[in-house]
Structure formats: C-alpha cells, structure tokens
Amino acid sequence: MRTLSPPQVARLTELRHALHRRPEISGEERMTAARIAAELEDLGADRIWRDLGGYGVAAEFSGTEPGPTVLLRCELDGLPIREISDLAYRSEVDGKGHLCGHDGHMVSMLGVGLCLSVRPRSGRVILLFQPAEETGVGARAVIEDPRWPELRPDFAFAYHNLPGRPLGEIGLKPGHGNCASRGLQVVLEGKSSHAAVPEDGVSPAVAMAALMTELPALSQGGIGDEDFALATLTHVKLGEPTFGISPADGELRVTLRSLTNERMDRLVAAAQTSIEHHSAGLKVETHWHDVFRSIVNDREATDIARNAAGSLGQDIREMAQPLRWSEDFGRFGDDGAKAALLYIGAGEDHPQLHNPDYDFPDALFPIATEVFCRIVDDLLGQHPS
C-alpha cells in the first residue's frame, strides 16, 4: 500500500506553508508553477509540460504495459482576499491569500508523485496543476492548449476540501455535483443632466431599479430540483455621489447559478430578455465573467473512488444534494473523460472557504494522497518493488 512516510509528510507540510506565504491569483501563478515544476523534476517525472493554458504544469508517470491514462488534477491559484490570521506562515502578499485550500490540494498531488517512485504497472498517471480555477477559465484554457491531446485522459479525478464535514470524510455525489454559474455585468449609459431638470437627460435609474428586482426574481426552486436557478445581485453603481447631477451611467452585477448547463442557457436567455425590456433609450453592454460549467460526476469514476476509499477504511458519505458553489473541473468530463470530483471533509468547525481566516488543515493532505494513490493502483496496478 502506498503511504507517505513521516519525513515525507513533514516535508510536504513545510512546502504547503511556503506556498501559503506567497499566493498568486488566477492568471498570475508564474512563481507557484515554477516551484511545482521543480518539485516534479526532483520526483523524477517521466515528462513535464509547462505553461499549459497559462501557467499550468503537468507531469507524466508511465507504466510499462498499455493501459488507460488517469489524470489527477489540482489548482495553482489563490484568491484576491486579505488573510486575517496569526499563523506563522500567513500570506506575505497584501490582499491575496490561499483561502480556498489550493495550497493543500497541490501538496496532496505532490504526495501522489512521491508514491509514484514505484510506477504503475500499466497506463500512465498525469498530475495536472491547473491555473485560474477561481475565475473559471483555467480548465478550458488547458483543454484548448494545442498540447492537450498529448495528455487527454480516460479517467479524471480531483477533490475539494469541504469545511463543515468531519476531517477526512470522503463525500461522493454521482451525477450532478456542483452548480453551473456565471457573472453577468450590465453597463448602462444614458445622458447626464442638471438635477433640477432631469427630464433633459436620460438616466438609467429606472431601468436599474427594475432590473434589481426582476433579475433576482428569476430564482426558482431548491438545489435538489433539476430546474433550480438562483440569481444573486452582487453590485450596483449609479452615477457619482453628488446632488447636482442626474446620472448618465449605471452598472449592476448579478451571479447566475443553476444545477444544469441547460437550465443555465434558459436563465441567461431570461436575463437578456429582461435587460432588453427595460433598457429603451439607453446604450447597454453586457459582459460575462467567471463562467463555470456544472459538474456531472461519472458514475463509474465515482464507484472507483468509493471502492478505493472504502478499501482504506475511510469514512464515506453519500451526498444527498449537489453543492451550490462552482468548480471548473466539470470541463474535463465535458471533454470525454470519466471524471469525478471528491469532497473531503476539512473539519466540522473549520472556517468556511473564502473566509479571511480559512487555512487548509495539514492533517488532510495525507488522507487525500492515500485515496488517490489507491485509485491509481486499482485502475493501473502497481509494479513489484
């Protein structure tokens, strides 16, 4: 059985703390990627790809017999959130922090790389360190990289730590696991006027007031419903903070969320219809940001993960409902891989993801490493030492 030794756990813990000190946000992960590539070279990877879809890094560990390609994926990026903590290794970069646990995900996969000093018997393992997950562009950029056909997997696995659940508990959700989401930015432009004669201008205020009510009203159902939709107003700006000007400009932002990609298409169409209905006389621009596809966990891949965790004696939870938050791992399933995202508990009282005091629990990554190593062995076998 592949397990990390105490010195290896200590070394990876030290590395996670170093990564935690120097977070880089989506699209800026140059130094993080360089550090990961150097670690993979030290692990003796058979091949390394750099600058995949931006700053992505991938490494291959090959068996000697024909077999499937198994991709294990983690994320490189941090968040533009100021960390608030007394940790000795807290972020040294003002306004940025590893407050989602991607530093822990990275060392989990490097732990798998350590265990792959004994290569699989067949096929190959690809460890992918993906950029720009937090903005929803990273997985797509990797798949659109011209070198992607060299890596394209038959199976793809990843995990996300999940605060609020017991530490190390393995959550599994075949079928829809995470929502699709995207950010809608609506920019409205009219004509300013003196506040004493607003009729001589064209203010976006009336349109914005209507949209602030109508767009959130597109929400429907609960997370367990296939027709679930949620529209959350996140930002509004109208003109400048003055008293003498009837404003010309306005902006609002709404996050759209749905269980399925098909429902998202209908939600987008409904939002666009509402905008068109209320924007007469105004110049209107709509922009889309942070576009995430839904995650649909393949049942065979989920069963493989379940059997691996069960054989290790890990606590397993069959999740009754999908999660509202989004993750761009779903792109790999869309690309044809049998893909499954695991949800591993970070502690029942652990701070929530994206909280300013969040920190990945060091006790979690050896558990994740062991589960993913067992998945590899179950699919590809293990060479005799």
Task: Locate 83 and state its tokens.
Answer: 């960390």
Query: In the chain, pLDDT over 90 holds for what percent of residues?
Result: 97
Q: Check if the beta carbon of residue 150 is closer than 8 Å to that of residue 322.
A: no
The identity of residue 160, as a single letter, is H
pLDDT tier for residue 18 given thresholds of 50, 70 and 90: very high
Separation CA 270–CA 113 (nearest Å)? 47
239-297, pLDDT tens digit by residue? Answer: 999 999 999 999 999 999 999 999 999 999 999 999 999 999 999 999 999 999 999 99
Q: Would you kindly state where each structural domain of the chain is located, as residue ranges?
A: 6-178+294-380, 180-292
Query: How many angstroms separate the CA atoms of 311 and 359, rounded?
Result: 29
The radius of gyration computed from the CA coordinates of the chain, to the nearest angstrom, equals: 23
Q: Alpha-carbon distance 71 to 6, whole Å? A: 26
Query: Quick one: CA torsion of 238, 239, 240, 242, rounded to 10 degrees?
Result: -100
In the predicted model, what is the mean pLDDT of residues 33-39? 98
pLDDT at 1: 62
Residues 82, 274: Cα–Cα separation, whole Å:
36
> Do residues 312 and 349 make contact, with C-beta atoms less than 8 angstroms apart?
no
Question: Quick one: CA dihedral 50, 56, 57, 63, positive or negative?
Answer: negative
DSSP characters for 293-313?
Answer: PPEEE-HHHHHHHHHHHHHTT
pLDDT of residue 224: 85
pLDDT at residue 286, as a whole number: 98
Q: Encode pLDDT of 199-226 as tens digits.
A: 999 999 999 999 999 999 999 999 988 8
The Cβ of residue 163 has, within 10 Å, a number of other Cβ atoms equal to: 18
Tell me, what's the pLDDT at 228? 97
- For 59, 124, 383, the CA distances from 119, given in Å and listed in that order, are 13, 9, 6
Kindly tell me the burial class for residue 56, based on how many C-beta atoms sit within 10 Å of its own C-beta (0-12, 13-18, 19 or more).
Answer: buried
pLDDT score recorded for residue 136: 97
Looking at the predicted structure, is the pLDDT value of residue 169 above 80?
A: yes
CATH class of the domain defined by 180-292? alpha beta
pLDDT confidence tier of residue 385, bands split at 50, 70 and 90: low
Q: State both tokens at 373.
A: 């190593």
Cross-strand bridge partners of residue 323: 178
Helix (H, G, I), strand (E, B) or coil at 341: strand
Examine domains 6-178+294-380 and 180-292 and report if their fold is the same: no
CB half-sphere exposure, 279, CA atoms < 13 A:
22
Percent of the chain with pLDDT over 70: 99
CATH architecture entry for 6-178+294-380:
3-Layer(aba) Sandwich (3.40)
Whether residue 254 contacts residue 271, with contact meaning beta carbons closer than 8 Å, is answered with yes
